[in-house]
Structure 1
Amino acid sequence: MLNDIHVDEAVRALRPDFAVLLVEAVGFVNGPSDDRSRKWLAEASAQAAPLDHEKIEAWREAYRAFGAKPQRTRPSVDALIRRMPLPEINLVVDAYNSISVRHTLPIGGEDLRRYEGPARLVRATGDEKADEVLGDPAPGEVVWRDDAGVTCRRWNWRQGVRTRITEDTVDAIFILERLAPMTMEELATAGAELVTLLQVISPEVRTSTRTIG
């Protein structure tokens, strides 16, 4: 899957500073939130950036560039920081949400077994289909999609139900999305921290990574 994921040139033209770190994790055992993941969430909450942080502002600017209103449909890390204390979902989601807040970095998690074809980040044509939770995207909107349709709208605003990580998920792809002023070094550090937490959850997990941009 990693080698087939791509970012469309129309997205690169919109934000030349965009980069994405992909972490593939195969063969893990997920489960309900526990004391470990609650500690990760609490520690991340204590380190959360202010809402006017330059990393969050960069994402708001990116949303405006394709016609979205970030005060109505917020970038994922903006919305997450507003939800203090961080909600408990399940072990794996708690892990990547804690890394997201700690680094002020949008992170998505997708169930690989529910994908149809490779993931790609594109600007919508208006013909794409999405589930009822997402609603169909507008032309020009930045979306993640696969062969079956949209998996995440407005870059990282909201994920669809079909590919959502649940307690039954065993194979996943994690999407860590960077804009300046975040450095590529910090992006790599966030990815390494996520891999460490996945190994704590499930020592037998097998991981691989790829950076685009």
Structure 2
Amino acid sequence: MSKFIIENQFWEVFPEAEIAVVLAKGINNTKAHAEPMRAELDGLLEKGSEEAQKFLTAEVFSDNKVIAVWRKAYQQFKTKKGVRCSIEALLKRIDKGTGVGPINPLVDIYNSVSLTYGLPCGGEDIDTFVGDLLLTKAVGDEHFMALGDADFDNALPGEIIYKDGEGAVCRCWNWRDGQRTMLTEETVNAFLIIESVDPSRKEDLEAAANALAALTQKYLGGSAEVHLMDSAYWEIVL
């Protein structure tokens, strides 16, 4: 059985990081299943967008705490030029008034949680993993094709990535997911993750994980198991 392992190379850079994992098993992520609940799912995104306003109080966008803490984190490792944390990308849309539209039921759910709690959330299809999933530093050139791209854009040496035996799963820590492991309508077993580099937000991280698990079960069925990981608890079975 495969595992999720956060390697020492990560903890050496981010010793105070905390990561919440939700293992959602036996879900139904099809649009047909979600159609009767589509108005509610849209409502989650709308409510999350409203809640996100509380994180945008500074006159200068980059001065907002949830943005600044991740910009500082991204300075600690090699990244592709110009990339930003996923929560910054979402909040930028809120700041500009463009909104966050629906993608698929599970992505909509985790985006609503990300907006509500001001924490980066992501998800992958467990059944696409090759061997163990690692959060670590890239050796370099791990294969990766980002969502929406037509060409490979492989990892850089020293970059923080999620990777498995086939290549990178998510580049620049939580910047962008890859096509190979993305959540789709066919996803039955999902790996959902929420990350924090701010020790003062431990309770927010736990609340976000519990909300994500509850909402996933409510709308998509199946089971949802929460794991709160840190430097003392760095390995789980998927």
> TM-score over 0.5 for the alignment?
yes
- In structure 2, what residue type is equivalent to 1:197? L
The correspondence for 2:90, drawn from 77, 80, 84, is 80
Whether 2:64 is the aligned partner of 1:53: answer yes
1:101 — aligned with what? 115
Larger helix proportion of the pair: 2
Q: Is the 8 A contact 1:7 1:122 kept in 2?
A: yes
Contact 1:10/1:123 (8 A) holds in 2: yes
- Which deviates the most, 31-40 or 157-166? 31-40
Q: Which residue pairs with 1:23 in the alignment?
A: 22
Within 2, Cα distance between the matches of 1:17 and 1:69?
24
CA RMSD of aligned residues (A): 1.8
Contact 1:55 1:182 in 2 (8 A): no
- How far does residue 196 in structure 1 lie from its aligned partner after superposition? 1.3
How far apart, in 2, do the equivalents of 1:149 and 1:98 lie?
Answer: 29
> Which string of whole-angstrom CA distances, capped at 9 and with x for unpartnered residues, describes residues 15-66 of structure 1?
1111111110111111337111110000011111214321221111111111
Contact residue 213 and residue 226 of structure 2 kept, 8 A: no
Identity of counterpart residues, as a percentage? 33
Partner of 2:165: 147
SS in structure 1 of the partner of residue 75 of structure 2: helix
Give 5+ residue unaligned stretches, structure 2: 231-238
Query: What is the distance in 2 between the residues matched to 1:45 and 1:182?
Result: 23
Instruction: Decide which of 26, 40, 44 is 1:40's aligned counterpart.
Output: 44
Deviations 1:138-163 (A, max 9, x none): 11100000111100000000100011
Residue 185 (structure 2) aligns with: 167
Note if contact 2:21-2:228 (Cα within 8 Å) is conserved in structure 1.
Answer: yes
Normalised TM-score (structure 2): 0.83
Contact kept? 2:78, 2:160, Cα under 8 Å? no
Larger Rg: 2
For 2:141 and 2:46, how far apart are their aligned partners in 1? Answer: 41
The answer for the alignment partner of 2:233 in structure 1 is: none
Aligned pairs, number: 210
1:62 aligns with 2:73: yes
**1:211 Cα deviation from its structure 2 partner:** 2.0
Gaps spanning 5+ residues in structure 1: where? Answer: none
